[in-house]
Amino acid sequence: MRIEGLPVTTPLRTIVDLASVLHIASLRDLVRDQITLQRLDAAELGAVMGSLRRRGKPGVAKLSRVLDDLAPGEGLPRSELERLLDHVIRLSGLPTPVAEYPLPGRGVATGFVDRCWPEARMIVEADGRKWHTRRNQMELDATRSIEAQAAGFETTRLLWEHLESDADNTAQLLRTIYERRLDLIGRQTS
């Protein structure tokens, strides 16, 4: 961004950059103060951190711990996450999906998916886990996605950050994915 013609980083990007040089206690105080003063939103900070994440990026692990410390409980309660997901789906204008659809696949991974449009062979999973837990669950999530893909279903994973701080854009993207899935299925059956 620019202020009076000078290029500067956004406040969120500045905090991500400061994470590499601040002691964790100072970083925690800074983030807590900014959230308390309503100058930043934890979801938006998490989204910026995620967009800048790369192997060896200084401060990202430290900032993840700070965000975990400041988040309530063990992650967003499932009911709240589903409310956010359903809100984004309503914004998209898509037909009502099937909730808790059985995971398609060979049975290597079992369970249910959050939302599914069987006609488009499209699954949407919402993830409200804290940053460190999310990283630990990546293997299971990948197995579930691969199982569904082998059965012809595409899985779209939406993070809490997408649902909370970028609902309109996320809704547009969902609609685009759905329409492309229907088009692809239509071409395959023709």
109-166 pLDDT, tens digit per residue, is 778 889 999 999 999 998 876 655 666 677 778 888 898 999 999 999 998 888 888 8
Per-residue pLDDT reduced to its tens digit, 3-47: 888 888 888 888 988 988 998 888 888 888 887 787 887 777 877
Q: What is the mean pLDDT of the chain?
A: 84
Question: Is the Cβ–Cβ distance between 30 and 22 less than 8 Å?
Answer: yes
CA angle at 90 for the pair 141 and 52, rounded to the nearest 5°:
45
Tokens of 64: 């993840």
d(CA 190, CA 187): 5
Question: Is the Cβ–Cβ distance between 117 and 95 less than 8 Å?
Answer: yes
Per-residue pLDDT reduced to its tens digit, 41-65: 777 787 788 777 766 678 887 888 7
Given this model, what pLDDT does residue 71 score? 61
- Written out in words, the top-level CATH class of the domain with range 78-189 is alpha beta
Q: For the chain, what are the domain ranges?
A: 2-70, 78-189
Tokens of 71: 């988040």
Given this model, what pLDDT does residue 76 score? 57
